[in-house]
Amino acid sequence: MLGLSALDLARFQFAFTIAFHILFPAITIGLASYLAVLEGCWLRTRNVVYRDLYQFWIKIFAVNFGMGVVSGIVMAYQFGTNWAGFSRFAGGVTGPLLTYEVLTAFFLEAGFLGVMLFGWNKVGPGLHFLSTIMVAVGTLISTTWILASNSWMHTPQGYQIIDGRVVPVHWLQVIFNPSFPYRLVHMSLAAFLATALFVAASAAWHLLRGHDNAAIRKMLSMAMSMILVVAPIQAVVGDAHGLNTLEHQPAKLAAIEGHWENRENEAVPLIVFGWPDMQREQTRYALEIPYLGSLILTHSWKKQFQGLKAFPPDERPNSTVVFWTFRAMVVLGLLMIALGAWSLFLRRRARLYHCRAFLRCTLVMGPAGLAAVLAGWLTTEIGRQPWVVYGLLRTTDAVTPHSAPEILLSVVLFIVSYFFVFGAGLAYILRLIRQGPQPRPDAGPPTGGPGQPHTPARPLSAAHEDEHRSATTSKIGR
């Protein structure tokens, strides 16, 4: 396959599968919290709009959650099949952390998910709301453990190496490693932003087609409020994360900035655009802003930071890639901030639901949150190379010694099966979104309980109850 080695194919397969997987948890995290807010607002106000939105988005949440679980199982198997060297070396740390994720988060989600999906009219409102909250909390706990494991691979501490294997000696240091707090907050906010943009784009699609009702307006209003508040906070968190990266992974930061060497007594400029050339050891066609690199990355006008030439050539990340993936993430973040500010401007002039230019931009920005998540992940993981565990285990030493044809076969099978299975899931989600929230004035509050009338919810049904009832009546009539 284009002369790729077994290592290249193993890396490509892992990147392909995790790129699919990371999209589903991002939406799951955001939607779970969104559903908890919707149900809380419904119980507090009894406004049927919140109930209708809950019933609509829980269908999409259920499909997305299922696809996230399926794609996540594949990730665990790959550690044993393609990355045996990594499992052997670092399994003493990553194995327990992922086990804690299953015991504390997955069991919590699984235990309450059934009540959340099918118990709207079967249990009391308090228990159902508790179930929704527990699922939302479970997604955040899951995020915590997974990022603790991944962050340790970037900034390892709390360990000893005995007989060529990592042995944890201080679990609190392992979990709360230097990059963990920044990456946890950054990823959680990214999930909320991705979900808010997804919800906003769904509302914009309906408003552009004249489907204007209270539920659609509430979707857009809530999503834009989230973007307006969270997007600027994400920029501040990203800046703090960058300072942490400068301290603990200076080679990654130099690659991100396309910065090769310092000039004596000169501030580091910010390279806005350019083409980092790994062979020539320079950034070609660079468009620079003087002093700004030092100001952003050191919070000083003239303080310098290390360039890529300060590191051995075999320890330099691929600057050509991470230079652009990072800028893609930043540009998308700035567009989110601009979209939130635009929404505030229109809201104050009572034009939020009527400005077609804004609605078109909101629709186009729908995938931007997920694109930013992917761009950020690529920046983080490629920027860690050539290490799997930073400074301890190289990627070349972590791979299982398979032949290239063996891995190529699995890569092809993964690509075909993923596009078939997850393509069908995505098509179903888009079908649900096209249908939109359906007002059901005849549906009462979630009473349930012993001796109470109840109707099982159908979170995976894309058909409207009235359409189903009409079709049944028509068949009986014939």
Phi-psi region of 47 (alpha: psi -120 to 50; beta: other; left: phi over 0): beta
Mean pLDDT of 232-260: 93
**Whole-angstrom distance, CA of residue 399 vs CA of residue 402:** 8
Structure tokens at 58: 């829980």
Q: Quick one: which of 416, 37, 306 has its CA closest to 192?
A: 37
In sign, the C-alpha dihedral spanning 69, 70, 71, 76 is: positive
Work out the pLDDT band at 36, boundaries 50, 70, 90. very high
DSSP string, 109-130: HHHHHHHHHH-TTTS-HHHHHH
Q: What is the pLDDT of residue 170?
A: 92
CA angle 343, 348, 350 (to 5 degrees): 90
Amino acid identity, residue 441? Answer: P
Q: Which of 47-56, 97-106, 324-333 has the lowest mean pLDDT?
A: 97-106
Using CA atoms in the order 192, 197, 199, 201, what is the torsion angle rounded to 10 degrees?
180
Using CA atoms, how far apart are residues 319 and 427, in angstroms rounded to an integer?
36
Rg, Å, the chain Cα set: 25
What local confidence, expressed as pLDDT, does residue 447 receive? 47
pLDDT tens per residue across span 79-131: 778 888 898 999 899 889 988 888 888 888 888 988 888 888 888 889 999 99
Q: Which residues contact 40 (CB under 8 A, 6 or more apart)?
A: 129
Quick one: tokens of 70?
């399926």
**In which band, very low, low, confident or very high, does the pLDDT at 384 lie, cut at 50, 70 and 90?**
very high
Give the pLDDT score at 108: 85
To the nearest whole number, what is the mean pLDDT of the chain? 87
What is the structure's pLDDT at 456? 45
d(CA 437, CA 56): 5
Q: Measuring CA to CA, which residue among 61, 30, 65, 39 is closest to residue 194? A: 30
Helix (H) or strand (E) holding 271: strand 270-277
Q: Coil, strand or helix: which one is 82?
A: coil
pTM of the model: 0.87
Query: Which of 183-187, 402-406, 432-436 is modeled with the greatest confidence?
Result: 183-187
Nearest residue to 339 via CA among 375, 368, 309, 319: 368
pLDDT at 39: 94
- The reply to whether omega before 181 is within 30° of 0 (cis) is no
DSSP state string for 281-320: TEEEEEEEETTHHHHHHHSSSS-----GGGS-GGG---HH
- Confidence at 3, pLDDT banded by 50, 70, 90: low
pLDDT of amino acid 67:
85
Torsional sign, CA 399, 6, 73, 17: positive
The DSSP code sequence of 429-444 is HHHHHHH-----TT--
pLDDT of 205 over the 90 cut: yes
**Contact yes or no for 57/31 (Cβ under 8 A):** yes
Instruction: Please name the residue that has the structure tokens 């799951």.
Output: 28
**For the segment 144-191, what is each residue's pLDDT rounded down to a tens digit?**
999 999 999 999 999 999 998 999 999 999 999 999 999 999 999 999
The total of other beta-carbon atoms located within 10 Å of residue 242's CB is: 17
DSSP label of 265? T
d(CA 297, CA 250): 11
